[in-house]
Chain A
Amino acid sequence: MSLTEADVKRMAHLARIEIAQQEVASMLAQLSNIMGLVEQMQAVDTEGVAPMAHAQDLSLRLREDRVTETDQHEAFQAIAPEVEAGLYLVPKVIE
């Protein structure tokens, strides 16, 4: 399974990272090297092995259904790039 320039562009789009045309070839070379390392996994038979997502077998804790958070929007929005009247501003998405 080898990566192509089209794969690199598709991943960059999915990850929302702009990548200039002149960077694609070098990024492809680097990612191909890493995926080459990753390919070693395929040599091992893992038939019947249960996937391990976590170090500890935990189930998610539940909490009481009551309000615990206080309103901190001013503190949180003080560090936002662009805010107006308590709202985060982004470029217009609906005409």
Chain B
Amino acid sequence: MINDSLKQLSAALAAKKISSRELTQSFLDRIAQLNPTFNAFITVDAEKSLAQADAADRRIAQGTAGPLTGIPIAQKDIFCAKTWRTTCGSKMLANFIAPYDAQVIEHFNAAGAVNLGKTNMDEFAMGSSNETSFFGAVKNPWDARAVPGGSSGGSAAAVAARLCAAATGTDTGGSIRQPAALTGITGIKPTYGVVSRYGMIAFASSLDQGGPMAKSAEDCALLLNTMAGFDVRDSTSLDRPVEDYTRDLAQPLAGLKIGLPKEYFAAGLAPDVAQAVQAAIAEYQKLGAQTVEISLPNTQLSIPVYYVLAPAEASSNLSRYDGVRYGYRAPEYHDLSDMYKKTRAQGFGAEVKRRILIGTYVLSAGYYDAYYLKAQKLRRLIAQDFTAAFKQCDVIMGPTSPTTAFNLGEKSDDPVSMYLSDIYTIAVNLAGLPGMSIPVGFGANGRPVGLQIVGNYFAEAKMLNVAHQYQLATDWHARMPTLP
């Protein structure tokens, strides 16, 4: 059952082969057994989850169930969920009880899904290894010495270890795709503006986007149907017709044009990752796709541009944590300014402080043009690279991450080397395009390899189709780690 697709689980619930309470309880038992090893969840509240399961069972009995009714879904601890502790992986919000629901949570509640708990993450989503969490690092279910990636590392580990039926994540520079790749699961970051940011704790508002993380593309399509939607409360939410993201899953891939950016297969890509990715592309050729070499010439610039823009936006967004209205307040201080400074010094971890200080610097008087404005201009050049590339192909493919999962502690003392591991994912956020990662094999160390699929704006249904057809022909997505 833990390997069942959402469709299978939904059918089992509808046929009364299992109740949502039994399904939820079985995942809760699994969490109780395995979470001490992997630390994927920050908050589990069996009583609340089971109450939702009971409500779902009533709905199923009444015949008003939808495709996600009664399905236990883990929520990244960045989504505010009313009455649930919502920490964003930070001491600053360690005791924050959200007074309202994020739109994503509202949608899952309306669908009758069960909130199975809040998953661990890098503090304020700033990190690529889940080691910056105030609540401790998450371990990769494939190898407990390895990181699960970040920032949605808890959600990724929870799906990989089958501690939930599916999970949510958010992606600012790769935070859904990179952990999906490193833990052998499927995740999609939609086009910027498709999923509401309302109640999703802000990191870099022009880049942040929520999306599903699950065992397969088909599951992701079902989840995205529930997550997507216009929201007046998010000023950058897109008012578009509702889409069924499952509509194209069954389309054959004959004639599909896959663009392979030469910059994504250059120096820096580990040979074992390159080999698995090439094998996946060969599989796509067998399915009838054609490949064409393309160029994204400004790829290298995406990291410096991101490390100006994201910290600049973060320094503004995180100024709200002042110890006055909610969150942590330092116990001792001698005046208001001292209260702010001590609260923020004690409430934020090292990586968050570094990014706030960088953001403050690039926005400060005299430096704005040289850094912030320069980065915004380069952002346009990076986005134009993709516009040109999509004249030659339907989707772009390449590695999600240059290596398989690295070891815990390997990069945590060297922020710049950590930043460089996001080389293939960041440009997609800067352009606002949809991107996904699917498992395509294992590296030399037995750790999973992810294939990144990038689509044009609003091409999610096409990308999910491309991923699903591969998953019908292969079984990498169905593999699961041997667990204690």
Contacts and interface: CB of A to CB of B under 8 A. Distances in A.
Interface of A: 1, 3, 7-8, 10-12, 14-19, 27, 30-31, 33-42, 44, 46, 49-56, 58, 60-61, 63, 72, 75-76, 78-82, 88, 90-93
Interface string B144-185: 000000000000000000000000000000000000000000
A15 B315 contact: yes
B419 A37 contact: yes
B55 interface: no
Contacts of A33: 415-416
Contacts of A39: 304
B326 A31 contact: no
Contact of A17 (B301, B353, B358): B353
A52 B377 contact: yes
A51 B380 contact: yes
A76 B357 contact: no
Nearest to B348: A17
Interface string B46-66: 000000000000000000000
B380 A52 contact: yes
Contacts of B416: 33-34, 36-37
Nearest to B433: A55
A29 B155 CA distance: 33
Given A11-B357, A52-B377, A76-B99, A18 B238 contact: no
A31 B96 contact: no
Contacts of A56: 192-193, 236, 238, 432
Nearest to A19: B345
Interface in B307-354: 307-308, 315, 319, 322-329, 333-342, 344-345, 348, 353-354
Given A17-B348, A31-B357, A52-B376, A37 B304 contact: yes
A79 B97 contact: yes
B373 interface: yes
25 contacts: A11-B361, A15-B344, A15-B360, A16-B322, A17-B348, A27-B354, A30-B415, A31-B358, A34-B416, A34-B419, A38-B358, A40-B300, A42-B374, A46-B374, A49-B380, A52-B379, A54-B206, A72-B99, A78-B99, A79-B326, A80-B324, A80-B326, A81-B323, A88-B324, A93-B336
Contacts of B376: 51-53
A41 B308 contact: yes
B388 to A, nearest CB: 15
B267 interface: no
B438 interface: no
Contacts of A37: 303-304, 307, 416, 419
B6 interface: no
B345 A50 contact: no
B356 interface: yes
Contacts of A49: 377-378, 380-381
A3 to B, nearest CB: 8
Interface in B279-323: 298, 300-301, 303-305, 307-308, 315, 319, 322-323
B302 to A, nearest CB: 11
B449 interface: no
A86 to B, nearest CB: 13
B445 interface: no
Given A17-B348, A50-B380, A56-B193, A41 B374 contact: yes
Nearest to B329: A81
A65 to B, nearest CB: 15
Contact of B383 (A16, A46, A52, A58): A52
B453 interface: no
A35 B358 CA distance: 8
Interface in B365-383: 370-371, 373-381, 383
A41 B305 contact: yes
B375 A41 contact: yes
Nearest to A20: B345
B137 interface: no
B235 interface: yes
Contacts of B373: 51
B364 interface: yes
B189 to A, nearest CB: 12
B465 to A, nearest CB: 23
A63 B371 CA distance: 34
B99 A16 contact: no
B353 A11 contact: no
Interface centre among A41, A50, A56, A88 (most CB of B within 10 A): A41
A40 B304 contact: yes
B198 to A, nearest CB: 14
A12 B378 contact: no
Given A27-B354, A41-B371, A51-B377, 7 more contacts: A14-B364, A31-B354, A31-B361, A37-B416, A42-B374, A51-B379, A54-B236
Contacts of B308: 38, 41
B266 interface: no
A6 to B, nearest CB: 12
Interface in B410-457: 415-416, 419, 430-433
Given A41-B308, A56-B193, A79-B97, A34 B354 contact: yes
